[in-house]
Structure 1
Amino acid sequence: MIIAAVALAQSPRIPLTARVCLCGFLVALAVSGILLGMRLSLGIDWVVHFQPLVAVVIPVLAYLGFFSLTRENAALPTAMIIRTILLIVIAYSAILIWWPISVDLVVVSVTIFYLSRMALLLRLQDDDFMHVPPHALKLLRTALIITLALLSLMIMTDGLVMVVGMVAGNGPVLRLLSGISGLSVAFVFVTMLIGLPMALRGAVGRHSEAVSGSPEMVTAADHELLARLDELMSGQQLYRDNNLTVARLGRRLGVPAREVTHATNRVAGSNFSRFVNGYRIRHAQQLLRETDLPVTEIMLESGFSSKSSFNTEFRRLTGQTPSQYRKT
């Protein structure tokens, strides 16, 4: 887990928020395993007071990491951050005040809640993961499924410990923990056997891209589809619809959504979201130059619904804020 965290921290392609959360998730898993080993193998019983405090943040960090990949600017909403902090404070208070009655119940409840939230991410379309290139989407979904399986194993473990502890006392609980810790090690080992080759293939693919300058062969069909898409976007200004999706555009063009995504990635060199935002920012630039409309109204007219996303994309493409652009 620590090796995976170090490798993830060094990946510049993943946004900072996602890296921080997912590295924190992996480190928390490693710390949890170390504490369990200290307790079971070395007989250091006082670490039992720290185990649930670490266990509570594991599903929280996992969810926030994957969720941030669906955000246009990769930043987490302020309201979500506040709610998450409050939830952790409440969980910690319940654990510390009503120890040991509430420990397993709190950990299981928090894990189930975030497990259900993460399961909903699997229903998202590929293009909803705005910061993940097409060649890495399969790896992302595999990582998400593995994380869900690991959290399910944690729920099963804590549930069994809670039941056995109430029925038979600490002796059987420790034996059960020893057995389940072996199961967890086997799970991680099998995951590494599956995940490591996939990660290496991804690394080889990225290296090939860097050498060749082209991730995939661009076809005439890609150019034709992008030309049709450009005509549709420029002529009908569909980008001004802030609910525009790749699926809707695919239906208008009579092709699967995945073909639209692949064409924008291969020909334009950007994902669908950034491709559309290019039209929106160019439209905003025109309005800033030729009208006296307020910046907020221009943002809405251009198809953005979030001021932070508008400002982030505008700065990314022009190197200036909208206000600075209007002044110059």
Structure 2
Amino acid sequence: MMVFPLPILTFLLATVAGALLWRVDFGQPRARHLFAGFFGIVAVGALLVGLRFGYGIHALIPLQRALPLFGGPLLYLGFASLTPAAKHQIPLHLGFAAGLAIAMQTFGWSLLDGTIAASYACYSAAILWLWRKGPNHLIHARLELAPSLHRWMLWAAGFLIAMLLIDTTIAVSFALRRNEEAVQIISYGSVGLIALMIAAIVTAGSLAQARPAPQAASPSDENQLEQAAHDFLIESQLYLDTGLTIERLAKRLHVPMRNLSAAINQSKGMNISQYVNGFRLDHAAKLLRESQTSVTDIATQSGFLTRSNFYREFQRRYGKSPAAYRQAPPDTHGPT
């Protein structure tokens, strides 16, 4: 029997990683809570496994069995909380996990292993689905953290897949009454978790010390801030999102809304809606010149909520309707 089970070391490292992540400003407080909660689940689960197989303490087996049902949801929700569709997902996913845990406790644990495996598979797929949308989909993340968070999605999905394989192997070993083999697999899995926890601690420690990018944090020159907004919108094409607001743009640039509004007003003599619409109109004009897409589809693809608003703004800027603009010779297109 192990004197100091490896899962206990995993517990200690996961606790440290969770504490460090609690100090990180991701741009959305919920993300910090959810990521820290995930590491909390890992820590408690590892502690209970260590107590069970290292010291023969079995009283908390029901809790140890139920905890993995919350790992996938917490990890997925940490990333999802930084996206546009995050508002109502937390109670839905965590409530469903809690319902499964209660059902298992009430009706027996015979389907637990399959349920946990399905949870890991579904949430790894959900994280990969978010990853496919790209870093610009993380609209609530700090601007400088979005690329890193996008890469971490792949690691998170890989972690859930690894846990799926490990847990399935352990379950099969127990089903075949190969208890010693199962304990060995738990130890090997703990080694991998320890390596992951160390990497998480190093990453979380560096993030906890990180500060917003200097240019976006407190620009003294309004022209610089407007240029930062311009460059970001061009690079990210966030203006194509019909739900873009000054609040969201300011969060991505990590500046107060009033500073951003004042910078655009003073530098360009327009409000934020007019400013963003300028990018949308440029995009629409390019599509009219270079594609045969219908005007209605172009309006939608360019970020306009209504066709009437698109026609009105386009006419004001280019002095002609979208259809007339498309048919006009290149040298008469007007502003670009």
Report if TM-score (shorter chain) is over 0.5: yes
Q: Give the aligned length.
A: 247
TM-score by length of 1: 0.60
Cα pair 2:131 2:150 within 8 Å, conserved? yes
Q: Which letter does structure 2 place at the counterpart of 1:226?
A: H
Number of the residue aligned with 1:110: 119
Deviates more, 1:86-95 or 1:25-34: 86-95
- Rounded Cα–Cα distance in structure 2 between residues aligned with 1:225 and 1:84: 35
- Rounded Cα–Cα distance in structure 2 between residues aligned with 1:197 and 1:96: 38
Alignment CA distance shift 1:147-1:174 (3 Å)? same
Mapping for residues 235-254 of structure 1, pairs under 5 Å: 242=242
RMSD: 4.5
Q: 1:226 aligns with which of 227, 230, 247?
A: 230
- Rounded Cα–Cα distance in structure 2 between residues aligned with 1:10 and 1:198: 11
Number of the residue aligned with 2:55: 42
Mapping for residues 1-328 of structure 1, pairs under 5 Å: 1-71=14-84, 76-77=87-88, 80-81=89-90, 83-193=92-202, 195=203, 199=207, 203-204=209-210, 206=212, 209=214, 213=218, 223=227, 226=230, 242=242, 265=253, 278-279=272-273
Alignment CA distance shift 1:198-1:214 (3 Å)? farther
Cα pair 1:108 1:159 within 8 Å, conserved? yes
Q: Which letter does structure 2 place at the counterpart of 1:179?
A: Y
Deviation at 1:83? 3.6
Alignment CA distance shift 1:123-1:224 (3 Å)? closer
Deviation string 1:230-279 (CA, Å, 9 cap, x unpaired) is 9xxxxxxx9798278xxxxxxxxxxxxxxxx9xx9499987xxxx9x941
Deviation at 1:132? 1.8
Q: Secondary structure at the match of 2:59?
A: helix
Q: Secondary structure at the match of 1:46?
A: coil
Deviation at 1:118? 0.8
TM-score by length of 2: 0.59
Cα pair 1:139 1:198 within 8 Å, conserved? no
Deviation string 1:28-51 (CA, Å, 9 cap, x unpaired) is 111111111212222212232211
Cα pair 1:22 1:62 within 8 Å, conserved? yes
Q: Which letter does structure 2 place at the counterpart of 1:279?
A: S
Q: Which letter does structure 2 place at the counterpart of 1:147?
A: A
Deviation string 1:282-320 (CA, Å, 9 cap, x unpaired) is 99xxxxxxxxxxxxxxxxxx9679xxxxxxxxxxxxxxx
- Rounded Cα–Cα distance in structure 2 between residues aligned with 1:266 and 1:37: 43
Cα pair 2:216 2:253 within 8 Å, conserved? no
Alignment CA distance shift 1:101-1:8 (3 Å)? same
Deviation at 1:123? 0.8
Alignment CA distance shift 1:43-1:214 (3 Å)? farther
Alignment CA distance shift 1:10-1:141 (3 Å)? same
Cα pair 2:113 2:168 within 8 Å, conserved? yes
- Rounded Cα–Cα distance in structure 1 between residues aligned with 2:169 and 2:276: 58
- Rounded Cα–Cα distance in structure 2 between residues aligned with 1:266 and 1:38: 45
Deviation at 1:161? 1.0
Deviation at 1:52? 2.0
- Rounded Cα–Cα distance in structure 2 between residues aligned with 1:266 and 1:68: 17
Higher relative contact order (CA 8 A, sep 6+): 2
Deviation at 1:98? 4.4
Cα pair 2:82 2:141 within 8 Å, conserved? yes
Provide structure 2 residue ranges, at least 5 long, that are not aligned to the other structure. Answer: 1-13, 266-270, 278-302, 307-336
- Rounded Cα–Cα distance in structure 2 between residues aligned with 1:158 and 1:13: 31
- Rounded Cα–Cα distance in structure 2 between residues aligned with 1:151 and 1:46: 27
Q: Which letter does structure 2 place at the counterpart of 1:76?
A: K
Alignment CA distance shift 1:54-1:164 (3 Å)? same
Q: Secondary structure at the match of 1:69?
A: coil
Larger-gyration structure (1/2) = 2
Cα pair 1:57 1:88 within 8 Å, conserved? yes
- Rounded Cα–Cα distance in structure 2 between residues aligned with 1:143 and 1:241: 24
Alignment CA distance shift 1:152-1:165 (3 Å)? same
Alignment CA distance shift 1:3-1:281 (3 Å)? farther
